[in-house]
Amino acid sequence: MQGMVKHFLLQLNFNFFQNQTTLMKLVLDTKDMMDGFFEETKLLGIMAPMKDYQFCWQLNNLLGIDFRINNELEIQLNKKTRTYFFAVYEYSEASAFLKHYLYNNHCDGEYLLPEFKHLDFLWLLKDDFVSDESLQHLVQAIRTVNGVQLVIELTNEKIKNKEHLVF
């Protein structure tokens, strides 16, 4: 009899523990991660209705840079029971720590940053200080690319879905 009571109490404790663990909800706090990712960054929004590889080819030839697609950084979003893949191109400056990332903002009617549906590309400058003067030179250079209709700087406050840019 004593063995049965002991077994019953052990089973009761196990069931209680099992129920408690199913009630626990884990929440991933990404705020610190996003703050760290966006430290020392600048973000440009570009309206240029063309294929991403064509745009990169023009940037590379006109500006003398070397954007290359990085499939490991590709952004994957699940929306409406479907998976969307957003290409990310990368270029590292040889003489500085500055890295450039060019995101395609749309894929099959979905947007990486839905709050900026009018923008085709997002250009992120990361990991080094960029002066306002240098940024303006870059903006002017991008505007000379054939097919570019708009280049604007996006501030962190305007971006609602920052987490979509984090890789």
pLDDT of 110 reads: 94
Please give the structure tokens belonging to residue 109: 């009617």
Structure confidence by residue, pLDDT tens digits, 107-120: 999 999 999 999 99
Higher pLDDT, 137 or 17: 137
**Strand 82-86 to 75-79 pairing:** antiparallel
Distance CA 90, CA 100 (A): 6
Structure confidence by residue, pLDDT tens digits, 13-65: 555 555 555 556 666 666 666 666 667 789 999 999 999 999 999 999 999 99
pLDDT of 158 reads: 79
Residue ranges of domains in the chain, CATH in brackets: 27-165 (3.30.310)
Please give the structure tokens belonging to residue 70: 């990085």
| Single-letter code of the amino acid located at 120 | D
* Rounded average pLDDT over 65-93: 93
pLDDT of 11 reads: 58
Query: What mean pLDDT value characterizes the chain?
Result: 84
Q: Name which of 21-30, 129-138, 140-149, 156-165 the model is least confident about.
A: 21-30
* Rounded average pLDDT over 62-86: 93
**Strand 75-79 to 99-104 pairing:** unpaired
pLDDT of 103 reads: 96
Distance CA 106, CA 117 (A): 8
* pTM, 2 dp: 0.77
Distance CA 144, CA 73 (A): 28
pLDDT of 14 reads: 55
